């Protein structure tokens, strides 16, 4: 394992802390696809006992960030361009076209999204790609939550870790760091119209951008 855990107090339960850290080092590419997650090594580097580490790895496997093989143990799962195009993008299109259409014109949602876009602008100016990825997820999840359909939100959350991993790896592909807040500002403008057709075109085009990367 090529990285070490951040120092400092552990604010959450040990399992939640090690889970959050492992998600981050996988999404950022510090742990490469195919790299093994050895409980003993992770425990030694992080100072977290092997029980919480084992539980965290099991959750990561459920989230699709880790795969387990007989005799080889747990390894970081790849996020391939093929999977993005053929699986993640179509699922997102279905979920988000439905959610954005149902949430269009919601004034409380518009206020929350405006705040997220402003935070995106600040993160882009700082070059904070981790924060941009988090805010990207926050933007889309806020809309899905506002649509008011728990099953849709549940489906989104099953793919969200892999979507976030893609967002984080995709951010450096943007030649201008302001492109991400600008794209989400355009989505917000479409939502402000309250017109379902305008919203549908905007969200379809937005998610379709990932087909070209």
Low-confidence ranges of the chain (pLDDT < 70): 1-12, 169-175, 210-213
pLDDT value of residue 100: 94
What domains sit in the chain, N to C, each tagged with a CATH number?
14-76 (1.10.10.10), 81-212 (1.20.120.530)
Q: What is the pTM of this model?
A: 0.75
The residue count for the chain: 213
Rg, Å, the chain Cα set: 18
pLDDT value of residue 70: 83
SS (H, E, C) the chain: CCCCCCCCCCCCCHHHHHHHHHHHHHHCCCCCCCCECCHHHHHHHHCCCHHHHHHHHHHHHHHCCEEEECCCEEEECCCCHHHHHHHHHHHHHHHHHHHHHHHCCCHHHHHHHHHHHHHHHHHHHHCCHHHHHHHHHHHHHHHHHHCCCHHHHHHHHHHHHHHHHHHHHHHHHCCCCCHHHHHHHHHHHHHHHCCHHHHHHHHHHHHHHHHHC
User: Residues 53, 18: contact at Cβ < 8 Å?
Assistant: yes
pLDDT value of residue 3: 45
pLDDT value of residue 210: 60
pLDDT value of residue 166: 75
pLDDT value of residue 188: 96
């Amino acid at each position: 394992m090529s990285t070490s855990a951040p120092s400092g107090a552990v604010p959450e339960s040990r399992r939640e802390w090690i889970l959050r850290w492992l998600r981050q080092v996988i999404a950022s590419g510090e742990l490469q696809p195919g790299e093994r997650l050895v409980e003993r090594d992770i425990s030694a580097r992080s100072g977290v006992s092997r029980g919480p580490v084992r539980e965290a790895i099991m959750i990561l496997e459920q989230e699709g960030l880790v795969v387990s093989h007989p005799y080889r143990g747990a390894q970081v799962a790849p996020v391939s361009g093929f999977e993005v195009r053929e699986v993640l993008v179509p699922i997102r299109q279905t979920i988000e076209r439905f959610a954005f259409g149902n949430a269009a014109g919601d004034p409380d949602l518009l206020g929350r999204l405006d705040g997220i876009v402003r935070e995106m602008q600040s993160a882009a100016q700082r070059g904070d790609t981790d924060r941009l990825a988090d805010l990207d997820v926050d933007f889309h999840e806020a809309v899905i939550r506002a649509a008011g359909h728990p099953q849709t939100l549940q489906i989104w959350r099953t793919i969200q870790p892999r979507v976030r991993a893609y967002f984080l790896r995709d951010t450096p592909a943007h030649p201008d760091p302001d492109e991400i807040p600008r794209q989400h500002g355009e989505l917000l403008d479409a939502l402000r119209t309250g017109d379902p057709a305008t919203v549908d075109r905007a969200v379809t085009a937005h998610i379709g951008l990932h087909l070209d990367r």
